[in-house]
Amino acid sequence: MAERRIDVPGGRLAVHDFGDGSPILLLHASVVDSWAWEPLTPFLLAAGYRVVAFDRRGVGDSTTADVRFSDRADAIAVLDALDIGRAALVGNSRGGTIAIDTAVEYPDRVISIATIGASLGGYEVEPVPREAALFKERDRLERVDDPDAYADVCVRLWVDGPGQPAERVPEDIRELVREMCLELADRDRVWGQPQRLEPPAAERLGRLTMPLLAITGALDVSAVAVAAYYLAANAPDARAVVMPDVAHMIGLEAPEELGALITDFLAPLPRWS
């Protein structure tokens, strides 16, 4: 494994580069850093792929000044620094949204997209009441600066799944995400000013001519399944898959099953670099 620091305008990204073969770029969820991909990575490596992951600005070991920036441009900067022409993008949650946005803005750099529990920029879905209550409580705790309670709600929402019992998921996974949430709740962190894609991806789905797999967990918040089916119905080469008995953090809950789903999706594609 190679660990690198890549300079981008106003920031520095911590990058992990594993293996050889056709490259996959992993984009993490907002409540974790890139180490959340560690359980999935061996299954992608065993299938013969090169796996690259990085911490987004302000997350994990990546830093930024308080500047305007593009998450899409940062993803491309990572590919450029590693001499990667095209990559398969795999993104969880916010990382999946960024993967779609990057493919819309830079379609010639993306061979395929797999999203995991992701929303779609410009396509808003109202949460059901049970989920809305959890979102409201999360937002309240963030405002009053109660990081422990905030992290607990994040675990209930994104690890357990709305309305699911705490014992459904092994405690080590819950604690890992809780620790990452606590780090990200630090008020002294500098996040920079990420700029949204305009017009949003929902208005430009015709640009997604590459294969797209929208994965969602059956126990996840309802909006991500709605977004997955919307992509399957409206992007040129997309399909949706619902994995049973898992919630939002599928790469932690079921890495082997997720790895098989992704590698089966990628297998028919000609190798790329």
- pLDDT score of 142 more than 80: no
Domain boundary among 184, 205, 225: 184
Residues 98 and 139 placed together within one structural domain of the fold: no
Residues of the domain holding 154: 129-184
* Residue 78 included in any domain: yes
**Distance in angstroms between the alpha carbons of the first and the last residue of the chain:** 18
pTM of the model: 0.96
- pLDDT score of 87 more than 80: yes
Residues 85 and 174 placed together within one structural domain of the fold: no
Residues 209 and 77 placed together within one structural domain of the fold: yes
17-75 pLDDT, tens digit each: 999 999 999 999 999 999 999 999 999 999 999 999 999 999 999 999 999 999 999 99
- What whole-number distance in Å separates Cα of residue 221 and Cα of residue 210? 26
Residues 22 and 104 placed together within one structural domain of the fold: yes
95-113 pLDDT, tens digit each: 999 999 999 999 999 999 9
Vertex 97 angle, CA 91 and 100, to 5°: 85
Residues 114 and 136 placed together within one structural domain of the fold: no
Residues 62 and 85 placed together within one structural domain of the fold: yes
Mean pLDDT of 243-249: 98
* Residue 56 included in any domain: yes
Q: How many distinct structural domains can be found in the chain? A: 2
* Residue 273 included in any domain: no
